[in-house]
Amino acid sequence: MVLSKKRARKVLEEIIALFPDAKPSLDFTNHFELLVAVMLSAQTTDAAVNKATPGLFAAFPTPQAMSVATESEIASYISRLGLYRNKAKFLKKCAQQLLDDFDGKVPQTREELESLAGVGRKTANVVMSVGFGIPAFAVDTHVERICKHHDIVKKSATPLEVEKRVMDILPPEKWLAAHQAMIYFGRAICHPKNPECDHYPQLYDFSSL
């Protein structure tokens, strides 16, 4: 049974209240580094990405530098990450596309971002919201699991359905805060196995609604 919009918003706002200062856990200093870090984070922990990126960014600080590197050179810096060979291939192609199509700069629109090799909707949404402050809501494994566990969406919902539901429930200015808080909530409380959400009764207190 999916919660009503009002109850679903209460759950999401309580999660935000639990982690009001949640910040992106990937390390980056510019839009290019953010894009690369988010691409690398697929099926890999942010902590593992943060161990790999200092060397990678030092070797290839710009799209220009990365575009002229070989795939094996790029791969050597990220070999501890999942799917690293594929990611190296995508990074090289993406860097070349940034030079060819966007004057070496990371674009800001979802359509342009998704035109880049290795960039899907989730990565585009993170870059838009975290990098450029453009309202967008990214759905990762934590977000999808939490929304299903707490009946914000049906159990069979696709990531796009989760995204649209949350965007319908919350105002745009809360989308980024919700995304960041849900990542922390998913790591600390709403685990894939043995979630501890019952320890937080405020999540389920709808008496004020």
Catalytic residues: 122, 140
Q: Residue holding tokens 């070496």?
A: 104
- Name the DSSP class of 128: I
Cα(198)–Cα(172) distance, rounded to whole angstroms? 28
- Name the DSSP class of 106: -
Cα(57)–Cα(77) distance, rounded to whole angstroms? 9
Phi, psi of 33, rounded to the nearest 5 degrees: -65, -40
